Amino acid sequence: MDISTVIAGTRFDNPVFLASGIVDETLKSVERAIKSGAGAAVTKSIGKDERAGYVPPIISELPTGMLNAVGLANPGIDDFIDEFKTSSLKEKIVVSIFGKDSEEFLELAKKVQDAGFTTIELNLSCPHVKGYGSEVGEDPELVEEIIKELKSKTNLKVWAKLTPNVTHIVDIAKAAERADALVLINTVKAIGVNIWARKFSLTNGIGGYSGPGIKPIALRAVYDVYKETGKELIGVGGITTYEDAIEFMLLGAKAIQVGTAIYYKDFKIFNEISQGIMNYLEMEGFGSLQEIIGLMVK
C-alpha cells in the first residue's frame, strides 16, 4: 500500500513526521527518528541567538498529556547549522525557525537555505516566550508580512505552524495564505498548579499543553481551516495511534506530526502508525492514502 504523501511538491515516503521540539535538538536524534521510520523530522525551533531556556521543571506530566515550558532553548542558528549541515538526510529534515519580525525570520531562513535545506517550518505559535512564537503568530498582518518576505526572497518551501490560542484561527490561516502548507496546532496555552508546594508546576508558570487531551482541539482547527481555505495541511496535537492519525486525514491533513507520543511509545511510534494506516486503508478498501484526505469535508 502506497502511503507516500506530497506536500508543496515534495514527496515523503510516509505521512508520519516528528514534531518540532521533541527529541530533535541534536542531529543524531533527528536522524534516529528518520531511521526509525519518520517520513520527515522537524527540528527544535532555532533562533538567531543562543538561548539556555528555562530552569527545570520544564515539563509536568498530566493524566491526559503534558505541560511544557522549555523556553525555546537552542544553540543559535550558526552553531545549529554547523552541526546539522553534515547530515546526509537533509531532504527529510525540516528546520523550524522563530524570530520576532520578518527581518529576523529572513536572516535565519537564508542561512538554512545556504546550508542545503529545502523546507522550513515557521514557529508562529510557541505560547510561553515573550516577543516570539504566538505573540508573532497572533498578529495577522505580521504573519502575512513574514511569509511574503520569505516566499519572495528565498526558494524555500515554507510551512507555517499556527497557534490555537486565538479567537479565529481561520483568520490567521488566511493571513498565512502564501505559505506552502500550514501546520496545525502548536500547544495550548495552559497552567499547572502544585497545591502541596503552592507553586506553579513549571518554573515559567505558563506553559503549553500537549498530548491526548488536546486532540479534539487540533481536529477542530484542521477541520475549520481545511473547509475555509482548502490549503495543504499537516495535523499535529495528541496523536498517539494510527486511529488518531486517520481522524486528522479524514478532516483534511495530508500528513501528521507526533510529539508527546514519543514519551508514551518512544521511537517505535513512527512505524506503528504507518503500519496502522496501511492496514486501515487495505481493510476499508481504499487504493491509496490520497483517497481519504479530506474525505469528510467534501
Ligand X SMILES: Cc1cc2nc3c(=O)[nH]c(=O)nc-3n(C[C@H](O)[C@H](O)[C@H](O)COP(=O)(O)O)c2cc1C
Which residues would be at the binding site for another protein (CB under 8 A)? 22-26, 28-29, 31-32, 44, 50-53, 55-61, 70, 73-76, 79, 82-83, 194, 196-197, 199, 201, 203, 259-260, 262-263, 266
Say whether residue 259 binds ligand X (CB under 6 A).
yes
Which one, 16 or 67, has the nearer CB to another protein? 67
Q: Does residue 210 carry a catalytic annotation?
A: no
Say whether residue 93 binds ligand X (CB under 6 A).
no
- The active-site residue, picked from 3, 106, 126, 289, is 126
Instruction: Kindly state the helix (H) or strand (E) to which residue 172 belongs, with its residue range.
Output: helix 169-175
At position 6, the amino acid (one-letter code) is V
Say if CB 238 and CB 215 are below 8 A apart.
Answer: yes
Encoded one letter per residue, x for contact with ligand X by CB under 6 A and - for no contact, window 35-64 reads ---------xx-------------x-----
Q: How far apart are CA 13 and CA 219, in angstroms?
A: 24
Candidate segments 32-40, 76-84, 123-131, 282-290, binder of ligand X by CB under 6 A: 123-131
| CA distances for 267 relative to 49, 184, 202, angstroms | 30, 22, 26
Say whether residue 221 binds ligand X (CB under 6 A).
no
| Given 75, 237, 252, 294, the residue binding ligand X (CB under 6 A) | 237
Say whether residue 273 binds ligand X (CB under 6 A).
no
- Region of 278 please: left (phi>0), alpha (psi -120 to 50) or beta: alpha
Say whether residue 192 binds ligand X (CB under 6 A).
no
Q: Is 248 exposed, middle or buried (0-12, 13-18, 19+ CB in 10 A)?
A: buried
**Considering CB distances under 5 to 8 angstroms, the limit depending on partner class, which of ligand X, another protein, none binds residue 41?**
none
Which one, 67 or 176, has the nearer CB to another protein? 67
Say whether residue 87 binds ligand X (CB under 6 A).
no
Rounded least distance, CB 208 to another protein, Å? 13
**Considering CB distances under 5 to 8 angstroms, the limit depending on partner class, which of ligand X, another protein, none binds residue 31?**
another protein
| CA distances for 175 relative to 59, 132, 143, 178, 229, angstroms | 32, 18, 6, 8, 11
Q: From 172, 204, 203, select the one nearest 186 (Cα to Cα).
A: 172
Rounded least distance, CB 298 to ligand X, Å? 26
Count of residues in the chain: 298
**Considering CB distances under 5 to 8 angstroms, the limit depending on partner class, which of another protein, ligand X, none binds residue 180?**
none
Instruction: Kindly state the helix (H) or strand (E) to which residue 28 belongs, with its residue range.
Output: helix 27-35
Q: How far apart are CA 58 and CA 218, in angstroms?
A: 23
Say whether residue 184 binds ligand X (CB under 6 A).
no
Size of site (CB under 6 A) for ligand X = 28
| Given 40, 158, 169, 236, the residue binding ligand X (CB under 6 A) | 236
Q: From 38, 162, 37, 132, select the one nearest 94 (Cα to Cα).
A: 38
Which one, 5 or 201, has the nearer CB to another protein? 201
CB atoms near residue 249 (< 10 Å): 28
Nearest 5°: the CA angle 171, 129, 100 is 65
| Given 96, 119, 204, 274, the residue binding ligand X (CB under 6 A) | 96
Catalytic site residues? 126
